[in-house]
Amino acid sequence: MAIYERFQDKTRKKLAVLIDPDKPTDAQVLSIVAKANAADVDFFFVGGSLLTTDSLEHCIRLIKANSDIPVLIFPGNSLQISKYCDGFLLLSLISGRNAEMLIGRHVVAAPYLKLFGNEIIPTGYMLIDSGRMTSVSYMSDTTPIPHDKDDIAMCTAMAGEMLGLKLIYLEGGSGATNPVSNSMISKVKQMINVPLIVGGGISTPEMAAEKAKAGADIICIGTKFEQDPEMLQRFADMIHSVKQ
């Protein structure tokens, strides 16, 4: 099955586990992978705002050697490309007005993506203010959408879908203090037909279930599992049990 069909599948809400390849040791990656396999996690996302080691490809290969869960690159910049992934979230940072993040870096990456032949999923990436400056906001030189401006988020997501983007990603930023609000998730979801990913600062299974009930089709979690991988099963069970 093409990876995008898995995103579109409506049989259950989904959990994506984010691994920043710079942070964990191989043993920690393997521990998260084993728990993700047991919990029937839906996707691995691999990437980070800034990688300081040459760890991306190694991390992807390590996951792929130990799991059948699809691995997608969730790139922080145009250097984060590998032929070993199953799919690539080609992010256009549509909440910002930095032309490099909307199309510029994509031009540089395009020939490599074509050469490698990975499945490409065009994704409208929307950064939402979470109360403090995040790495994404700083590194992308873009201003997030204000936390309480649901209407701006709705119209941005609608425009992204009209431009042909196949996923919308509402992002509070890794480790966000205030995740994207349920109200914003619900309003955005009502206005689009493509799958909606929500991530950033989701720290309890209950909160993950709330975001899924509000309208998120896929919940992405990284920080919590770096701190406490034992929680993975509970998060997966809560998210998978939310009715579509």
Question: Which residues would be at the binding site for ligand 1GP (CB under 6 A)?
Answer: 18, 171, 174-176, 199-202, 220-224
Smallest distance from ligand 1GP to CB 43, Å: 12
Q: Which is nearer to ligand 1GP, 114 or 132 (CB)?
A: 132
Smallest distance from ligand 1GP to CB 12, Å: 20
47 contacts 55 by C-beta, under 8 angstroms: no
> What SS3 string covers 105-149?
HHHHHHHHHHHHCCEEEEEEEEEECCCCCCHHHHHHCCCCECCCC
Smallest distance from ligand 1GP to CB 93, Å: 12
Q: Which is nearer to ligand 1GP, 107 or 204 (CB)?
A: 204
Smallest distance from ligand 1GP to CB 173, Å: 6
- Among residues 52, 18, 59, the alpha carbon closest in space to that of 173 is found at 18
Pair of tokens at residue 43:
């996707």
Q: Which is nearer to ligand 1GP, 142 or 174 (CB)?
A: 174
> Helix, strand or coil for residue 78?
coil
Cα separation, 39 vs 241, whole angstroms: 12
Q: Which is nearer to ligand 1GP, 2 or 141 (CB)?
A: 141
Q: Which is nearer to ligand 1GP, 46 or 62 (CB)?
A: 46
Smallest distance from ligand 1GP to CB 236, Å: 14
Pair of tokens at residue 79:
């250097």
